[in-house]
Structure 1
């Protein structure tokens, strides 16, 4: 706790200095006076970056923001869908929620009409305890791998990385934890040998300094068969060489996968002008938060405000990107196709609800997955 408070003080001090040196360069936006955002647990990369951006918004635009942390995908989505949160800082669960898969294949969910405001490129890999002697993905066989209950965003990436090496959960000892923070802490505490996460989670720095030590497992970019197996599990990844994070540097990089995290998500019916003001603020306040964490500089709008991404971009975000000359016809075609896909899945979901109203939960999910795949095949 002392470390968390100290880090918060350092970040706040850096923002104060930035505001002083910029001379109030950021212009006022038409943001709400107060907002609620959801994010991953305290200590996670998503929460740290949401906090830094919220602090910048507060200082530049006098907007008060409450961040509601949640360790599960449902916990981050439910407040957004119900209207109790304005925006959510999400990961791949935004894709799952728009597709109606995993936890979102239950009757009370189905494909959700979500839109992206922006989402920065992020890396993801397998940190291991050095004393577990895991030198390659194949060495994960028989080892304890930490998973988080109710978090398909992280779990599917972990499954995909295992698939890269031709492994499944049956080939490892999958250890389930109730929250992402607990899964990350499990390596230091000797409860697991490997985990799946981004590179800057605070617990990884603790692992590096602990007696167990930290080692990143290589995901080779030139292994075409491995990447093909990975993309059969989740076709949203690409190779990425990371130099930022615990145990990483320009002199000690690691081959990982790339995706978008965090993704700032709103509901599709969110007011266009408000979303426009949000992404404009995100862009114009960039200098106030870009040094707050080691990877937050990747929120540069030219990288975070364009596709591909897990869900369609909101119309308000598209308008801002067009005005900045950062949106082209190919991007517009991508976005329209992604909206058409989501709308087709929503229509298929409604048909499934009508046809399978008396089915038990498992039979309903099976019917929905069959209908979902048939719908996608027709697009």
Structure 2
């Protein structure tokens, strides 16, 4: 009897080991991801997920941080990174908009794997005299070089208060980290970012303090002004933010950050394995930061998001019962928009190759607007 028990236990152990090996084989042994700077919420969350992948599957992940959207995108598009933890540059590069409205860029065919909900507003130093967005007139606003994700969202939020970039003093910093810490150093008065970035906790504890300019849901004219600049955000009550007392909420705009992004050419099986691992390791990383619980697929695996979902991700989301018919309709419409822009770019780029870069960008943005307006 004892021998049989020992044999059964040994056989069970071998079977468990085999199951673990099979599970581990679903992910590559090594991966490269890109993310925002060290100290950003995106880097912290990518690090927590990478650590969970390592513990559960033995996968080694190297994270390449960059303070610019271009720096996060280039390794992905050049095949040197498998996934990118992006912000709104995912939307911009898919549209070929703003910094990507150049002959070297244009629309790119990207796909989302998942992206957690995030809040954003105008975040000011507490002593800057900025109670509302309107109060930012004449104040120093921190922007990031080569980062439309931060800069255009900030422009949109200023529009909520009836302001344009001409109404404020834009100070551009070379990296995201430098911009976010500039308020603590009294080099700026406000900026726009996710409210859990590490530099904001430092600001909240500093003599200057921190204040979140409210974006009230019932301010119809404010939201109309915001949407004219960037139509991917809506009202949100945010309860996780640096310096925000427990039990209180701040009126912000909602978007997705970070968005785990890859190329449309990425193998559906690879993406299926990735999102499956993201789901299965949730308990290992959910306490990594205050916002990590928002990575549940019920929250992070649903539209709307910056780019269409990858077919490999959709396959897993359907199996889990998360994906709905409405989600399919949204995704098909988003793919149609992206396909239309890609087709328009193929015609536009050679026909306008002789234009100077600024004129080229203006002409493409006008053509892009025509394409978008013509969609159902």
Common fold, TM-score beyond 0.5?
yes
Give, in whole Å, the separation in 2 of the partners of 1:30 and 1:222: 47
Which residue is equivalent to 2:336?
340
Which residue is equivalent to 2:276?
280
2:254 corresponds, among 254, 258, 262, to 258
Which residue is equivalent to 2:357?
361
Give, in whole Å, the separation in 1 of the partners of 2:319 and 2:355: 49
SS at match of 2:256: strand
Which residue is equivalent to 1:173?
169
SS at match of 1:257: strand
Q: Quote the offset at 1:370 in angstroms.
A: 2.1
Q: Is the 8 A contact 1:137 1:217 kept in 2?
A: yes
Q: Which structure 1 residue ranges, 4+ long, deviate > 6 Å from structure 2? A: none
Which residue is equivalent to 2:107?
111
Which residue is equivalent to 1:7?
none
Q: TM-score, normalised by structure 1?
A: 0.92
Deviations 1:20-52 (A, max 9, x none): xxxx9x954600100000000000000000000
Q: Quote the offset at 1:325 in angstroms.
A: 1.2
Superposed, which structure 2 residues align to 1:295-374 within 5 Å?
295-374=291-370
SS at match of 1:239: strand
Q: TM-score, normalised by structure 2?
A: 0.92
Which residue is equivalent to 1:227?
223
Q: Is the 8 A contact 1:207 1:214 kept in 2?
A: yes
SS at match of 1:132: coil
1:70 corresponds, among 66, 70, 76, to 66
Q: Quote the offset at 1:301 in angstroms.
A: 0.6
Kindly indicate whether residue 143 of structure 2 is the aligned counterpart of residue 147 of structure 1: yes
Q: Quote the offset at 1:360 in angstroms.
A: 1.4
1:240 corresponds, among 236, 242, 248, to 236
Which residue is equivalent to 1:294?
290
Q: Is the 8 A contact 1:242 1:248 kept in 2?
A: no
Number of residue pairs matched?
Answer: 355
Segments of 5+ residues of structure 1 without an aligned counterpart are 1-23
Give, in whole Å, the separation in 2 of the partners of 1:372 and 1:245: 36
Which residue is equivalent to 1:13?
none
Give, in whole Å, the separation in 2 of the partners of 1:333 and 1:239: 23
SS at match of 1:341: helix
Give, in whole Å, the separation in 1 of the partners of 2:65 and 2:120: 21
Give, in whole Å, the separation in 2 of the partners of 1:211 and 1:326: 45
Segments of 5+ residues of structure 2 without an aligned counterpart are 1-19
Which residue is equivalent to 1:377?
373
Deviations 1:249-276 (A, max 9, x none): 4433211110000000000000100100
2:41 corresponds, among 30, 45, 62, to 45
CA RMSD in angstroms comes to: 1.3
Give, in whole Å, the separation in 1 of the partners of 2:333 and 2:270: 24
Give, in whole Å, the separation in 2 of the partners of 1:104 and 1:166: 26
Which residue is equivalent to 1:130?
126
Give, in whole Å, the separation in 1 of the partners of 2:57 and 2:368: 43
Deviations 1:308-360 (A, max 9, x none): 11100000000001111111211111111111111111110010112112111
Give, in whole Å, the separation in 2 of the partners of 1:250 and 1:207: 18
Which residue is equivalent to 1:269?
265
1:81 corresponds, among 77, 80, 86, to 77
Kindly indicate whether residue 72 of structure 2 is the aligned counterpart of residue 93 of structure 1: no
Q: Which has the larger radius of gyration?
A: 2
Which residue is equivalent to 2:4?
none
Give, in whole Å, the separation in 2 of the partners of 1:126 and 1:367: 31
Which residue is equivalent to 2:202?
206
SS at match of 1:125: strand
